[in-house]
Structure 1
Amino acid sequence: MTTLVWIAFLLMEIVGLFKVLGQSACGNITSTAVCRCLKNSDGTWKVNCSGLGLSVLPNDIPVNTTYLYAEHNNLTEISHDTLLRLQHLRYIVLDANKMTTLPKFPKEIINIYASYNNIQSIDGAFDGLTSLFQVEMNHARVKVIKNTTFKDNLNLYRM
């Protein structure tokens, strides 16, 4: 009986090493997921952080994320590093937040949705985005659009 108790004690200690220590975008063995994440068959991710009341995006979003949904939160800004490290990101939805500026986007982004925000300036936000196809910023309160704002966006079809 003593051996069985000792084994049970050791198992509890081992399990204790793997207890949840925090939160991360998609979760792992030591953290719970903040967002809903779907890994595609090609190894890329769709990450949905919508409607969670987030004031900051998790900084550990998988680097091979192609779709990022972050609408209906309380985001006021996104650090440039958060998105620039997502080199596979093609589609981002930032609608209905409290953003006043747009972050820098990865070079290969195709679709950006940022409607219903408080964005007043988009100067420089689209520089170098040669694959950009669509930008939606309805009711975003942009005050000035310079004639050079979309100079690199030769594939832009819809604004």
Structure 2
Amino acid sequence: MWGVFQLSVITVIMKTLLLLCSWVILCNALPFEQRGFWDFSMDDGLTMMKDEANEDGSGLPVSPSGVVPTVFSAAIPPFDLCPFGCQCHLRVVQCSDLGLTSVPKNIPKDTTLLDLQNNKILEIKKDDFKGLTSLYALVLVNNKISKINEKAFEPLQKLQKLYISKNSLEEIPKSLPKSLVELRIHENKIKKIPKDVFNGLKNMNCIEMGGNPLENGGIEAEAFNGLKLNYLRISEAKLSGIPKGLPSSLNELHLDHNKIQAIEMGDLSQYSNLYRLGLGYNNIRVVENGSLASLPTLRELHLDNNKLSKIPPGLPDMKFLQVVYLHSNNITQIGVNDFCPVGFGVKRAYYNGISLFNNPVPYWEVQPATFRCVTDRLAIQFGNYRK
């Protein structure tokens, strides 16, 4: 019993001594002093981090073992790399839908794509794109731009794509970058294409300028001189005829939703490279015999929603024609040789689409041989004509 009592007393004494030592240590401890910005961020179990320069003079904190922690291996990025409110990633700066009234400042100099669409920008000033020599694509769609300084695009030495549709421009911007490949400027207020506006743009191959109040008289002679376009669209304008002097290199020409009344001899004589021609939604009543003969490589012909009363002449001689849109016209009769040539082996490519619906033609009277050069009967679309 006496031994057990002695053991209990010794245990109590030792616990009291331990508590007393802990209290003394805490009383003598110095308060925490923050010496560096990163002191609160360390959670690796180190009790102290000195904010002094290491041996190589880098100025980075080191652990007691002399190893620089991983958290200090990356420098803090500067705060002016991206304009306020924008998103920047991999040389792409996106500033769309922000209500901007002007081009933001401090755009990174290495930006390759700048997206400023869906804002309220009123004007493009001289130095708005200063230093952006690497810019590849500029998107200004759906703003309120009515004025562009003549020298605004001079710094853009590598610009290839300029999208400036849905604005209030009354003229095509001057001094476009020589490197430009694609220009989309539809739905503005452009009434005129002067003869020197595209001067020197040897790389341009696509222009989309529909939705402008452009008339035939507004296209000056030689306006497209020097251009080697593949694609041109002037739809939803006020054209009364097929414009003259368009680039002979064209592969696609779209003139739909205009007021064109006829296709006359010579209208298409210089476009021997066309493989798609869009003339839908016009007032075309006549296609003169021989007017399509200068299109030897044509593959698609869109003449829907016009006022044709018969199948355009010359279709059987077009060896590569595969798609013909003739729906929503006034066609009342279809002859057996209106689409296919006489004899075999003449046509190089058979039709895979002929639309004739919404015409007052009695389709039950059309002879089956009329479509002898069609790939499949499902490629012919008649439907019922209804007033």
Classify the TM-score, shorter chain: 0.7 to 0.9
Taking the aligned partners of 1:24 and 1:145, their CA distance within structure 2 comes to: 41
Match of 2:213 in 1: none
Match of 2:31 in 1: 3
Match of 1:152 in 2: 200
Q: How far apart are 1:25 and its partner, in Å?
A: 6.5
**For structure 1, which runs of at least 5 residues remain unmatched after alignment?**
12-22, 28-32, 40-44
Match of 2:186 in 1: 138
Taking the aligned partners of 1:108 and 1:83, their CA distance within structure 2 comes to: 12
Match of 2:288 in 1: none
Identity %: 27
SS in structure 2 at match of 1:68: strand
Match of 1:37 in 2: 88
Taking the aligned partners of 1:53 and 1:24, their CA distance within structure 2 comes to: 20
Q: How does 1:83-102 map to 2 (within 5 A)?
A: 83-102=129-148
* Correspondence for 1:124 among 170, 174, 188: 174
Residues 25 and 35 in structure 1, CA contact (< 8 A), matched pair in contact too: no
Taking the aligned partners of 1:54 and 1:60, their CA distance within structure 2 comes to: 14
Q: Which amino acid aligns with 1:154?
A: K
Q: How far apart are 1:149 and its partner, in Å?
A: 0.2
Deviation string 1:74-98 (CA, Å, 9 cap, x unpaired) is 0011222121320000101100000
Q: Is the strand fraction higher in 1 or 2? A: 1
Q: Does 2:159 match 1:109?
A: yes
Structure with the greater alpha carbon radius of gyration: 2
**For structure 2, which runs of at least 5 residues remain unmatched after alignment?**
1-28, 38-78, 208-387
* TM score, norm. by length of structure 2: 0.32
If asked which structure has higher relative contact order (CA below 8 Å, sep 6+), I would say: 1
Q: How far apart are 1:123 and its partner, in Å?
A: 4.6
Q: How does 1:17-32 map to 2 (within 5 A)?
A: 26=82
* TM score, norm. by length of structure 1: 0.75
Q: How far apart are 1:59 and its partner, in Å?
A: 1.2
User: Aligned pair in 2 of structure 1 residues 145, 88: CA closer, same or farther (>3 Å)?
Assistant: same
> Paired residues, what number?
135
Deviation string 1:73-126 (CA, Å, 9 cap, x unpaired) is 000112221213200001011000000023522122100000100011225241
Taking the aligned partners of 2:80 and 2:119, their CA distance within structure 1 comes to: 17
Q: How far apart are 1:151 and its partner, in Å?
A: 0.4
Match of 1:78 in 2: 124
Cα RMSD after superposing both structures = 2.3
